[in-house]
A and B are shown apart, each in its own frame.
Chain A
Amino acid sequence: MALVNQGFQFKNRVGEVTFGFRNLAELMARATPARSGDRLAGVAAANAEERVVAQMTLADVPLSQFLTDLLIPYESDEVTRLIIDEHDTKAFAPISHLTVGGFRDWLLSDLATPQVLREVRTGITPEMAAAVSKIMRNQDLMLVAKKCRVTSAFRNTLGLPGHLSTRLQPNHPTDDITGIAASILDGLLYANGDAVIGINPATDNVSQACRLIHMVGDIIDHYEIPTQSCVLTHVTNTLEAIELGAPVDLVFQSIGGTQATNDSFGVNLAMLSEAQDAALSLNRGTLGNHVMYFETGQGSSLSANAHHHLDQQTCETRAYAVARKFNPLLVNTVVGFIGPEYLYDGKEITRAGLEDHFCGKLLGLPMGCDVCYTNHAEADQNDMDNLLTLLGVAGCNFIMGVPGSDDIMLNYQTTSFHDALYVRRVLGLKAAPEFDAWLRKVGINLDTESFRLNPHVPDVFRPSLQHLLGER
């Protein structure tokens, strides 16, 4: 009983020892599967036993408590205000009686059909999703995520069951147009690029963004490719590009789960709303009006010292509330980019990727994953093969595609064009239907059932290639 007097909101007697947790944020952090970022923040469980006791304690917390016991104060954080103000009480009703542990059982049960999961979506807050994920095994995260179907559309339809799309990422260290075009061609001929053709510019300014937006737009127009373009520059640059008349398909922005994290990115909800309106006004989508592309990643809040002593996975999941507000086409958790101080090795990267995909899908987001690592992390291609396969099983909407896994601008390794074909082959997944039809029409794919590529360069690309490389 002494623990109560020491200010512990939660206590749990296990055998001879009583464990105490001072508040809900601390309980969530202690319950999180081990990772370096939470150790760095000083919020992780002290040992394996405390972690499991925290998970057992968390399992008894009612879901409704997350609506009143706020992890970051309502008054001081616009992400908290967004989560609370937009909570859908009616959608929450069918699960409002559940505890976190009961929620896990319900999600795994046959009661939670894809249709039911779609209906409760807006009743689930990020904190509820994060809490339940902490007591789920990897297979639970995959099983439930696969039941959460989220589609989005702009010039094609992404996220249909049995489909896996790729962002074609043709980055070049000096934004050289010929170099970028060469990587785009390579990607298209390897049947990649249905989620987006998206460039991270090496030089981040408005004129460069305009130049690249025009460049990719020209290719999409000329070859009539059912996909969309994006230059991943700051939202204020994209707004200026729109004002300058650039043909912007998608607005990109990195986002985080606390107001202070977003401050560190130089953005807020009002700016995102303004950019979304500007892109919608261009009316460039043919099948849908999802115009936003967000990137997130565990560790960004701690990195900006903006985590309010929350664990990094809870911060990450709160970023999905920001994303959800703006009906995105793509939400990409860049899981291994941030480095070993946040996710130390292949095991931690794998767990984080599955958590993010699950939480995003549960909240209704079109989740993709940048399955990646840096050269200072304890990870290699085999770890990426494993996570890629698991995400394919879980129904992930999209992954990255870069030539030979080597992003020569951002200096990290992500999935390659070849990797996408591997996972499509081994799991029987297809590209977005409109893009798949285009691959067959122009002769890139000879046979989409067995994923057989044309050994020759298709006719539509031959003149450009011969012009550049010389006639034979």
Chain B
Amino acid sequence: MATDMTSDPMHGAVTDNAWQPLRSFTAARIGLGRAGTSLPTQRLQEFQLAHARAQDAVHQPLDVESLTQKLAQLPWPSQPTPLRLHSDAPDRGTYLQRPDLGRRLHTTSQQRLSQYLATGAAPIDLTIVLADGLSALAIEKNALPFLQQLLPALQQSASPWQLAPLCIVEQGRVAIGDHVGESLAAHCVLVLIGERPGLSSPDSMGLYLTWQPQRGLTDATRNCISNIRSAGLTPQEASRKALYLLTEARRRQLSGVQLKERSDQDNLEYASGDNNFLIPSG
């Protein structure tokens, strides 16, 4: 796969980059070559196609029926049916321009949560919320593999977590998790949400954790784990990080900037030159 770095890389108008094979180490658009100092036609059109696909992903609706069927595979205590909820944003067009509506539950959804509480459910430690966010595709692809890792770990914990039924929210933003958590009087909420689609990643899922969720909280009270997808953070890794944050949040009764994510503290020590191919080893 090595590229000849000494012969003439210029073929007519386009200059190729000898470091183009580095693409095997990253999805970043490196080594694109150049026409003068501009993008060659082929690279330009690859970009335009990716942008078209990402724009389309924003508008794809969440298939709640199919998602619910998939979630039935989960090792879930007593298998409660997920609660299907909707934000105050009636459609995608409104959702995109009115984030305030995407952060709060529609009245009928609030009633649904009140009814659940009225059944005399045990006090809830943790509510897990799945929201479409800006990419329903991200939830459809990543929510199940992640929960297959996290749920057994929560049940095997030294002090097991009392969980609410899964909540699936359509047209939801991150902060809607706080509204759900508050409505269920949960100690903690974990939101799984579709992140804004990138050109190379229309399917990236993010996690947001809030301790003592209530409406009106800001980002400073949340902890985030992002880029969960097949070519990003694996479900195993994401689950490990989430479990660490959940455990620490419960131990210290807080979340946000005061709760730093230190699950990697012991195994990420950097040795000079380590893995950095630009620095000669030895």
The interface of chain A, by Cβ under 8 A from chain B, is 36, 40, 170-174, 176-186, 189-190, 202-208, 210-211, 214-215, 218-219, 222-223, 234, 236-237, 263-266, 303-306, 339-341, 344, 374-376, 380-381, 402-413, 416, 418, 421-422, 425, 451, 453, 455-457, 461-472
Contact = CB atoms under 8 A, between A and B. Distances in A.
B256 interface: yes
Contacts of B279: 218-219, 222, 464
B13 interface: no
A339 B219 contact: no
B134 interface: yes
A381 B47 CA distance: 10
Contact-size category for B: 35 or more
A186 B21 contact: no
Interface in B196-244: 196-201, 204, 216, 218-220, 224-227, 231-233, 241
B30 A404 contact: yes
B58 interface: yes
Contact of B37 (A172, A236, A237, A451): A451
Nearest to A404: B29
Interface stretch (B142-150, B155-163, B266-274): B266-274
Nearest to B59: A376
A266 B256 contact: yes
B278 A181 contact: yes
Contacts of B97: 36, 40, 340-341, 344
Contacts of A405: 29, 47
Contacts of A170: 28
B273 A406 contact: no
Given A182-B22, A341-B99, A405-B29, A215 B276 contact: yes
Interface stretch (B104-112, B177-185, B257-265): B257-265
A455 B263 CA distance: 44
A186 B31 contact: yes
A375 B19 contact: no
A412 B96 CA distance: 16
Nearest to B197: A375
Contacts of B78: none
Contact of B19 (A189, A265, A413, A422): A189
B265 A172 contact: no
Interface stretch (B3-11, B67-75, B118-126): B3-11
A210 B98 CA distance: 38
A222 B30 contact: no
B280 interface: yes
B2 A471 contact: yes
B276 A173 contact: no
A103 B274 CA distance: 56
A218 B272 contact: yes
Contact of A376 (B50, B134, B231): B134
Contact of B28 (A408, A412, A456): A408
B18 interface: yes
B6 A176 contact: no
B261 A203 contact: yes
A416 B224 CA distance: 27
A428 to B, nearest CB: 14
A205 B260 contact: yes
B27 interface: yes
A361 to B, nearest CB: 27
Given A173-B201, A207-B269, A418-B38, A219 B261 contact: no
Contact of A340 (B96, B204, B227): B96
B57 interface: yes
A468 B277 contact: yes
B170 interface: no
A467 B204 CA distance: 33
